[in-house]
Structures are given as C-alpha cells and as structure tokens.
Chains A and B, each alone.
Chain A
C-alpha cells in the first residue's frame, strides 16, 4: 500500500495570509490526525477526523481548522498566519477499528511564515 502523502511539501507565506494543506491517508484508513512540530514545542496534536467528523481537538486557536472528505482525504487550513505558525505540519492516518489505532505519519509540509 502507498503510504500517507502530503502536499505541498514546502510552502512560504507572509503574515496575514492563509494556507491550506492536504493529506491523503493510507488506503482504507478512516482516521486522520494533524500535528504541528516545532523545535521549541515538539509534536503537538491539532485535531483528528474520522468519517468526515472532527472527533477531538488540541489546544490551538480557532485560526486552525480542518475537514475531511468522503474519501478520507483531509485538509487543514490556517488563517491570518503568524510568524509562530512556521513549523512542520504532519498528518497521520490510522484504521481505527478495535485496537488498530497505530498511526502512520506522512512526510509533512514545512511551512515558513515571513
């Protein structure tokens, strides 16, 4: 099976702009989670989607949002970008049936906000 894919891989934006990142999960996986990785804060959970519904959300401001489509592909959006939003954004997919909750990560999208 193909792994988790994310597009774009790199992105440069300026403060105040908005950005949309895309994640395609492993075929058959229904859960997609998003994480932000920075040198200072490490890996932090943003939100998780399952069957097009957001099931849980981390402690991030409302500028961070997401959605999931019927084919399980997911997008996350960040509005009114701030310098501190510069980070590696990782998505992870899992099957989410029984104890099959193992998460597999995509390569990430590296976002630089200038």
Chain B
C-alpha cells in the first residue's frame, strides 16, 4: 500500500517569512495529493490539492509543487501570519477517496511573532 513520509515534524518560522513542508510517497499509482490544516481541537480543513497532471498550483499565499518522477510534493506558505499556526497534513491517494487517503504524520507549524 501507499506510504507517505512528511518532514519536518515541527517547523518554527518568524512571522512574514516563508515555510516549506515536504512529503514523499511510495505508490507510483497515486495521482491526488491534498493538504489539510488542522487547528487545535478542530477538524482537518482542505487548504489546497493537486493532481498528477499538473506540477504546481497556487492559491494566494499557498502553493503546492509536485515532482512525480521523484515522488515528492511540497507545500509552500509565503508571508506567514499568526493564524497560519496549526498542524499541516499531506496525503496521497491513487483514486481520491475511493481507496482512502494515506496521510503523513503531520507538521506542527509555529509562527513566531
């Protein structure tokens, strides 16, 4: 089955700086890669996703890049703000929800004022 590794487990950045979280996956059949943000005590919320037919996707301060050859994808957050502090999860799936999402262990992002 699919295996997703996520790094780092904790990331502390100064407010206004950029943050990058990296994930690798093992199943070359995976073609859907969402990122979720989970604040303490709340549900995971989708912040951006990418499918294997594109290499990059951007939504305001958030971007995701995908390298299918190397089987890795990354989340980039620019101009970080205090409200970006949360745990971020990457995930991969060969058929979206049908096979279930395989999640990374999560990255605790801390924005220092």
Q: What is the CA–CA distance of A13 and B100 in the complex, to the nearest angstrom? A: 27
Residues of chain B contacted by A47 (CB below 8 angstroms): 100
Those of B19-51 within 8 Å (CB) of chain A: 32, 34, 36, 42-46, 49, 51
Question: Interface size (A, Cβ < 8 Å)?
Answer: 28
Closest to B43 in A: A105
Q: What is the CA–CA distance of A48 and B101 in the complex, to the nearest angstrom? A: 10
Question: B42–A45 contact, CB under 8 A?
Answer: no
Q: What is the CA–CA distance of A56 and B89 in the complex, to the nearest angstrom? A: 22
B86-100 to A contact mask, C-beta < 8 Å, 1/0:
000101010111111
Q: Given A42-B106, A43-B103, does the pair A106, B43 have CB atoms closer than 8 Å? A: yes
Closest to A98 in B: B96
Question: A96–B98 contact, CB under 8 A?
Answer: yes
Question: B45–A105 contact, CB under 8 A?
Answer: yes
Question: B100–A43 contact, CB under 8 A?
Answer: no
Name which of A43, A59, A96, A105 has the most chain B CB atoms within 10 A of its CB. Answer: A43
* 8 Å CB contact of B44 from A43, A50, A102: A43
Interface residues on B, range: 20 to 34
| Interface of A, helix, strand, loop or mixed by DSSP | strand
Q: What is the CA–CA distance of A103 and B43 in the complex, to the nearest angstrom? A: 12
Closest to A110 in B: B41
Closest to B100 in A: A45
Chain A interface (Cβ < 8 Å from any Cβ of B): 31, 33, 35, 42-48, 50, 55-56, 58-59, 90, 92, 94, 96, 99, 101-108
Chain B interface (Cβ < 8 Å from any Cβ of A): 1, 32, 34, 36, 42-46, 49, 51, 89, 91, 93, 95-106
Q: Which 8 A-B pairs have the closest CB atoms?
A: A101-B96, A45-B100, A43-B103, A105-B43, A94-B97, A42-B105, A105-B44, A107-B43
* Known interface pairs A56-B99, A94-B97; 8 further A-B residue pairs with C-beta atoms within 8 A, sorted by A's residue number: A33-B100, A43-B101, A45-B101, A58-B100, A99-B96, A101-B32, A103-B34, A105-B43
